[in-house]
Amino acid sequence: MTYMTEERRLIQQQAREFTMREVLPVANRLDPVEGDIPMELREKLGEMGYFGILIAEEYGGLGLGCFEYCLITEELARGWMSVASIIARGNSLIGMEKLSEEQRRHYLPKVARGELLGAFSMSEPNAGSDIANISCRAKKDGDSYIINGNKYWCTFADGADFLIVIARTGDPKPGRRHEGLTAFMIPKKRGELPPGVKGAPIPKIGYFGWKTWELAFDDCRVPKEYVVGEEGKGFYLATHGLEKARAHTAARAIGLARGALEDSIEYANSRVQFNQPISQFQAIRFKIAQMATEVEAARQLNYFVCSEIDSGRRCDLEASMVKLFASEMAERVTSEGIQIHGGAGYTKLHAVERYWRDARLTKIFEGTSEIQQRIISDRLLGR
């Protein structure tokens, strides 16, 4: 199958040039000091249409598919994974598909331009992969709900213009632990947390460019019109579109691995030891050959998954496979990149250490590698 049309090649080339010109220099400057993605760069992403790749043209988006979304994502991740991630705050934020037509026409054009971005708050100290264990509660109070409880791992909670929060509105029946969860949209001022919410950034080893928060909801009042979808159906909302999210994560992992590969090739050709470039040594050449092969294998599998998603065919099995394979691959390839750089790779003077730190996260978020293995084995073994 021929995946790359001329239009897609142009989209890819444009994203590649944008990344090398606008994203990579900012990442090299700000990631070592744990600085945030500048508003100027966010505005440029909006001008490129990257927050609205998946949003229909009638709402101001580009109206493209998952394939184009992941093409652009790989390029952006080659510069800075956080930038490849922030575009999801417009393209595929959970709950957007459940907005009313009136809400769509109000919100989506602003989202597509990057003027209105959200953050997703689902995980808790005791609820990560086990979504059904959510204990943060939302109690009906007249025309509002009052939310109390703790949330964890909410990236971009401060910089977003609204939060999508999953809270428990009802007690589950035996054997139906996933029931009783509801999604809420909480508008807020950019740069602040909503009224009734306090929080603190979580210290991380990577994924810089924005902060990841732990949040405490203390009588946070949300008007009932900000319920997203049906009350009690938040579990299905949270798990909807996981195929696309996992393809997006695979694309981020591939971009990181490609960054390590390309930087390693450049370094190996310029680093001289024993009177010759280290690229002349078989040990280095074979590392690069293996790295390139693994990157391409992951990319081709992701192309297949994206094409299946865009065709409307079910591919949850393959989406888990590519998320598992690409994230595990990215950690191996970026680690080899550090090895090729030697001592220089263990410094913040080279981007390869950033790719390595961020690649490690791809094995955890959007479902850990172990969760993907559970999904894959369950499907294959008929469970």
Half-sphere exposure of 40 (CA within 13 A, CB side): 3
- Nearest residue to 221 via CA among 282, 165, 290: 165
Verify whether residue 366 is a known catalytic residue.
yes
Q: What is the rounded distance in angstroms from the CA atom of residue 180 to the CA atom of residue 260?
A: 44
Q: Which of the residues 75, 318, 353, 366 is marked catalytic?
A: 366
351 contacts: CB under 8 Å, gap ≥ 6: 24, 27, 28, 259, 263
For the chain, strand residue ranges (E) read 118-121, 137-141, 144-155, 162-168, 181-187, 197-201, 212-223, 227-228, 272-273, 276-277
26 contacts: CB under 8 Å, gap ≥ 6: 37, 38, 41, 79, 80
Catalytic residues: 366
